Structure 1
Amino acid sequence: MSAQLDTLPLHWTPVCALTDIVPDTGVCALVAGRQVAIFRVARLNDKVFAIDNYDPNSKAAVLSRGLVGNLGDRIVVASPIYKQHFDLNTGECLEAPEHSVSAWPVDVRDGQVWIGA
């Protein structure tokens, strides 16, 4: 394991190969019994982000199907239902902060995406 994974008190779960995620899109994985939306952002050298997949605004598990973009310096996903924007670094819902979601630790090593829980 990488030094980053060894020093964190988390259980790390491999979810997919990085190449399984089309650049600038998301996929959904089940981690520790929860749906996690995982995004690969091409313009940031294929940096990977993970947030809850459940959109509290629409009450549907759809965030992995949202559109990846940015608002100013913030990398976001727009929910496919009502179009609220979620910061991929923090999970904050920009239009309704009370509907923010959790951000998950993510690591990519040897071409494999790992999520920490």
Structure 2
Amino acid sequence: MNALTSTSPQAQLPLIDAMKMVGTQLIVLHHLAFYGPLSDYAHSLAPGLFSWLSAHARLAVQIFLVISGFLAAQSVAPGGALTQRPLGPLLWDRYLRLVPPCMVAIVLAIGCSALARALMSH
């Protein structure tokens, strides 16, 4: 049984993980190339690269849309067989798994933004 057909929740999907890694880096680079004070200065250092990043790297979001659909389908139909688990508990489990880390990330981002605002003048 290969990694793509394993029903184990611990099964690793190296190709999926690699695509998510590349996608996250492209999105971070797109934000650095397109938004904020860094983009003004960095564009003059490598205009071709930063033009490409600002115009095309945002398309990496599509990677996440496709992968999330694949992983959601895999969670409700492991091994290709639809589970008969009720939707409510499934959604609640997903909420409990995803929302706390998201809230921590949002609080950290707000804190970092406040710190950066205090330390920078643009």
The alignment's TM-score, normalised by the length of structure 1, stands at 0.20
> 1 or 2 for the larger relative contact order (CA 8 Å, sep ≥6)?
1
Structure 1 or 2: more helix by fraction:
2
State the TM-score, normalized to the length of structure 2.
Answer: 0.20
Structure with the largest fraction of strand: 1
Say which one has the larger Rg. 2
